[in-house]
Structure 1
Amino acid sequence: MRISQLDGRKLALWGWGREGRAAYRALRTRLPELPLTLFCAADEVAAAQAALGDPLLQVDTAPDGERLGAFDVVIKSPGISPYRPEAQTAAARGTRFVGGTELWFAEQAGTDGVAAGTVCVTGTKGKSTTTALLAHLLRTGGRRTALAGNIGLPLLELLDPQPAPRYWAIELSSYQTGDVAASGVRPQVAVMLNLFPEHLDWHGSEARYIEDKLALVTRARPQHAVLNAADSRLAALQLPDSRVHWFNREDGWHLRDDDLYHADRLVMDTRSIPLPGRHNRGNLCAVLAAIEALGLDAAALAPVAQGFQPLPHRLQTLGQRDGITWVNDSISTTPHASLAALECFRGQRVALLVGGHDRGLDWSDFASRMTEAAPAAIVTLGENGPRIHELLAPLAAAGRFHLGAAGDLEQAVAVARDLLAGPGLLLLSPGAPSFGAYRDYVARGCHFAILGGFDPEAISSIAGIGVA
């Protein structure tokens, strides 16, 4: 649905985060006379009214299904699930729900139905780093590139950039992949990194999460699909409408130990790339496969990955205090991510902080891995902390590691330092979202930095967002 098609319809915005504000500005740019209703949280109403001063805007609090059902179209923020009962009730009455990503893609359609130059990246883990690394390589190669999407810049904030970029490096969450499919416009390239259960509270089930995530390559029908051959779900896909490019396979881009290969050709040693963990350096294979799908010389660009600036809150070493190295991996929101973080510091004395908002993910695999790959200490915290603690307690009692519990992050840091009882590494890799205790993972990572005596502002900026 294009923005012009909203003219004359009864329209509402649902959500007043950055995506909601971007949608409002886009609508007012294209449809300045269209009456709008904004549904937002109660504590946002006064601020929204005061900031906008828009006589054609009515601001109200979160709606029920009947109120939503009174609108032809509702533009919702990504964090609002379309599976919520009130959204389902309104949809049954004929209300159409769209997202900002859908609106943006609808504006990009070429004569062949493809959004030229778009590279969409998704996956349960690694999508932000991969998207930023893609933009870095393209820009270093002299191509004007936009870095946007879930990484921190809504696409609708780049509706008409001048001059327009040649390429778009777009990160998409599982909340947004369906929007691309709904737009009817095909991405030029879509990258799928991996699939692990996550966001079950938003999607409602693991099966639906997988279905929604895969929509980027199944329903959006990209011209080129870049898939991870090492992921069993992705390896089984059949995509008749797309040309498939595999990575992590010996006939494509892959790693052999720390060496990067393109088929049988040795390209470079990846140990000089500033990405912690082999799994992170493996994201370079996905990036190079995507660049190759664009028709560019990927091998020539591979060495410039050495100049990439790692993203904050992702296995980020903050520094040392009293013999303890502080590592901030606040972006970690699944047990699998915590396991990957531990693997990066194998052989070191690590105290791991895990736990946060409980989305019902299964931690039994994490617990079983602690029989052979446990750190020196684990401290559980947050809403799901007691559940994780209960799983780990028998192993701790058997002497596999020290186990502590805490009510909040500050207490968890203190407990972890006591359990280390000397030099070591303090790793925040919670394997769970920050909701409830913090606004987002950035706020959680910044609090962790403050507790260590580090400047939270200095560790939080993402370089390169926007067009360059």
Structure 2
Amino acid sequence: MGSQEVSTVDWQGKHVTVAGLGVSGIPAARALHERGAIVTVVNDGDDERARAQAAELEALGITVRLGDGATLPPSTELVVTAPGWQPDKPLFLAAAEAGVDIWGDVELAWRLRGDNGRKAAPWLAVTGTNGKTTTVRMLASILEAAGLRTAAVGNIGVSLLDAVLGEQEYDVLAVELSSYQLHWAPSLRAHSAAVLNLAPDHLDWHGSMEAYAADKGRVYEGNTVACVYNAADPATEELVREADVEEGCRAIGFTLGTPGPSQLGVVDGILVDRAFVANRQKQAQELAEVSDVNPPAPHNIANALAAAALALAFGVEPAAVRDGLRTFRPDAHRIEHVADIGEVAYVDDSKATNTHATEASLAAYDSIVWIAGGLAKGATFDELVTGAAKRLRGVVLMGADRALIREALTRHAPEVPVVDLDRTDTGAMSEAVEHAARLARPGDTVLLAPACASMDMFSNYNKRGEAFADAVRAHAEKSA
């Protein structure tokens, strides 16, 4: 299916099973029911919240089965799944055996775009192990600065179905896509797309690094204008080489160094374009200053370059890149400066839930007291510690799997002082900040970049970041 074509499906009387309640499942069930499909929702959970959601859907005439997400309902002609459900679930195995297609919420949104009679907005898509949300929000800010009607949607928490079927008309959508979503989106064809980086993540879901990378690479399939890749990450360029794209689609690289032809990069503190200028062999276009990027950490400059490449591929003027980056404000808990106390900076990067994100976070500062630990999700920390050892003033560890980080520090940074908090309660954060403050010297950064998930101590990374900020503010009051 070409990038601008809109799929038409006769939904009337079609038996569709929606797998999972929640952010994607409920809008999918409603949209399909409104189009005449006979919808059955299946859900593993059967708690109070699920029962309340089920009651709302059943009032519309939608069948809901709680506590049984494994069995394929009779007569099912299509399964639409929430992105997190693993491919080896019995429901999907039964569907495959019966020859029933399985779509994700992104696939459904792609098929339904333009269904309301309006012109379907093209998608500029972003995926990668880290940096997706920031890049998509930067991209939306640049597009808005160019005067375009747009929204940041997808895995960012805004339902794609709501975006494509709502009343608001868009010129273009900035779409964040996870590997889960791409796995279930076989016909997606973006205008242009970027893979920011690739590092081991979600391997329990995908089964292997190769399968994970292949699902990420689906974002390039059928691109019409640009496939944007990270010149510092050869695996992303390899995905471009393997992609089946529209004739004329170009490979556009981004780099933190001086860009070559068909690349965006950095020269003397200036973000420059050598991809979309008339004579890219000899000319470069200034886009913005590094100081326009908030915060100007190396990995965030890379995010800005990727966002700029996608925006330029869509035809925006270079001035919009500068203006969009200047007005962009990062989400909470992403390298968020909390306070300066006694010439020590306190920075919250609770969103750094894996080693790849934490590596980028640690690279942004010269002298660090690092607060880390939590649920490791099978990660190893030797490479991370080896790369950061020279920057570490000290380390404070907490959480269920802190011993794995401590052992890596013992092997690769034995001279760095380590405080090991034998606690997994939420109050441990206050003690962690106090220990970090004692280790820090003027000019240092106390950095919460856990390299681990939060669920051993907190309900999510947001709550962990809030606990850090509260602890820092409490420390500031005591220090005043």
1:233 to partner: Cα distance: 0.9
1:3 to partner: Cα distance: 8.2
Do the aligned partners of 1:38 and 1:57 also contact (CA within 8 Å) in 2? Answer: no
CA displacement, residues 354-395 of structure 1 (integer Å, 9 cap, x when unaligned): 23333222322112224433x222233334322222222344
Match of 1:186, SS? coil
TM, length-normalised to structure 2 = 0.83
1:104 to partner: Cα distance: 0.8
TM, length-normalised to structure 1 = 0.84
Match of 2:339, SS? strand
Partner of 1:15: 20
Cα 1:447–1:419, aligned 2, differ >3 Å: closer, same or farther? Answer: closer
Cα 1:404–1:85, aligned 2, differ >3 Å: closer, same or farther? Answer: farther
Report which structure shows greater RCO (CA 8 Å, sep ≥6): 1
Alignment partner of 1:382 is 2:386: no
1:335 to partner: Cα distance: 0.9
Do the aligned partners of 2:230 and 2:253 also contact (CA within 8 Å) in 1? Answer: yes
The amino acid across from 2:350 in the alignment is S
1:69 to partner: Cα distance: 7.6
Match of 1:162, SS? coil
**Greater Cα shift, 157-166 or 196-205:** 157-166
Return the alpha-carbon distance in structure 1 between the equivalents of residues 172 and 60 of structure 2: 38
Do the aligned partners of 1:379 and 1:412 also contact (CA within 8 Å) in 2? Answer: no
Return the alpha-carbon distance in structure 2 between the equivalents of residues 67 and 214 of structure 1: 30
Return the alpha-carbon distance in structure 2 between the equivalents of residues 275 and 320 of structure 1: 16
Report % sequence identity: 27
1:425 to partner: Cα distance: 3.8
Do the aligned partners of 2:32 and 2:39 also contact (CA within 8 Å) in 1? Answer: no
Partner of residue 122 from structure 2, selected from 110, 117, 121: 117
Do the aligned partners of 1:355 and 1:431 also contact (CA within 8 Å) in 2? Answer: yes
Alignment partner of 1:254 is 2:265: yes
CA displacement, residues 281-337 of structure 1 (integer Å, 9 cap, x when unaligned): 222221221122113323553344212112222101123568764322121122121
Alignment partner of 1:366 is 2:368: no
Match of 2:165, SS? coil
Do the aligned partners of 1:11 and 1:35 also contact (CA within 8 Å) in 2? Answer: yes
Partner of 1:430: 450
Alignment partner of 1:142 is 2:147: yes
Partner of residue 358 from structure 2, selected from 331, 334, 338: 338
Cα 1:328–1:6, aligned 2, differ >3 Å: closer, same or farther? Answer: farther
Do the aligned partners of 2:125 and 2:190 also contact (CA within 8 Å) in 1? Answer: yes
Cα 1:300–1:140, aligned 2, differ >3 Å: closer, same or farther? Answer: closer
The amino acid across from 2:393 in the alignment is A
Aligned ranges for residues 87-236 of structure 1 at < 5 Å?
87-108=92-113, 116-180=121-185, 182=186, 184-217=187-220, 219-236=221-238
The amino acid across from 1:38 in the alignment is V
Partner of 2:43: 39
Return the alpha-carbon distance in structure 2 between the equivalents of residues 419 and 440 of structure 1: 22
Return the alpha-carbon distance in structure 2 between the equivalents of residues 254 and 323 of structure 1: 32
Alignment partner of 1:306 is 2:313: no
Cα 1:257–1:400, aligned 2, differ >3 Å: closer, same or farther? Answer: farther
Partner of 1:458: none
- Alignment gaps of 5+ in structure 1: 455-468
Cα 1:427–1:250, aligned 2, differ >3 Å: closer, same or farther? Answer: same
Cα 1:438–1:63, aligned 2, differ >3 Å: closer, same or farther? Answer: farther
The amino acid across from 1:380 in the alignment is L
1:405 to partner: Cα distance: 3.7
CA displacement, residues 40-84 of structure 1 (integer Å, 9 cap, x when unaligned): 412133222344452623333343544468733222111212234
Do the aligned partners of 2:346 and 2:446 also contact (CA within 8 Å) in 1? Answer: yes
Do the aligned partners of 2:16 and 2:39 also contact (CA within 8 Å) in 1? Answer: yes
Partner of 1:273: 293
Partner of residue 71 from structure 1, selected from 59, 76, 84: 76
Return the alpha-carbon distance in structure 1 between the equivalents of residues 292 and 223 of structure 2: 36
Partner of 1:402: 418
1:134 to partner: Cα distance: 0.9
Partner of 1:49: 54
Cα 1:94–1:357, aligned 2, differ >3 Å: closer, same or farther? Answer: farther
1:131 to partner: Cα distance: 0.8
1:168 to partner: Cα distance: 0.7
The amino acid across from 1:206 in the alignment is M
Cα 1:253–1:390, aligned 2, differ >3 Å: closer, same or farther? Answer: same
Return the alpha-carbon distance in structure 2 between the equivalents of residues 419 and 290 of structure 1: 40
Cα 1:311–1:9, aligned 2, differ >3 Å: closer, same or farther? Answer: same
Cα 1:109–1:29, aligned 2, differ >3 Å: closer, same or farther? Answer: closer
Do the aligned partners of 1:115 and 1:186 also contact (CA within 8 Å) in 2? Answer: no
Do the aligned partners of 2:114 and 2:164 also contact (CA within 8 Å) in 1? Answer: no
Match of 1:372, SS? helix
Return the alpha-carbon distance in structure 2 between the equivalents of residues 429 and 310 of structure 1: 16
Do the aligned partners of 2:194 and 2:228 also contact (CA within 8 Å) in 1? Answer: yes
The amino acid across from 1:308 in the alignment is F
Do the aligned partners of 1:379 and 1:406 also contact (CA within 8 Å) in 2? Answer: no
Cα 1:426–1:47, aligned 2, differ >3 Å: closer, same or farther? Answer: farther
The amino acid across from 1:404 in the alignment is D
Alignment partner of 1:25 is 2:30: yes
CA displacement, residues 23-43 of structure 1 (integer Å, 9 cap, x when unaligned): 233223333x73423314121
Partner of 1:355: 373
1:209 to partner: Cα distance: 1.0
Do the aligned partners of 1:73 and 1:96 also contact (CA within 8 Å) in 2? Answer: yes
Do the aligned partners of 1:273 and 1:307 also contact (CA within 8 Å) in 2? Answer: no
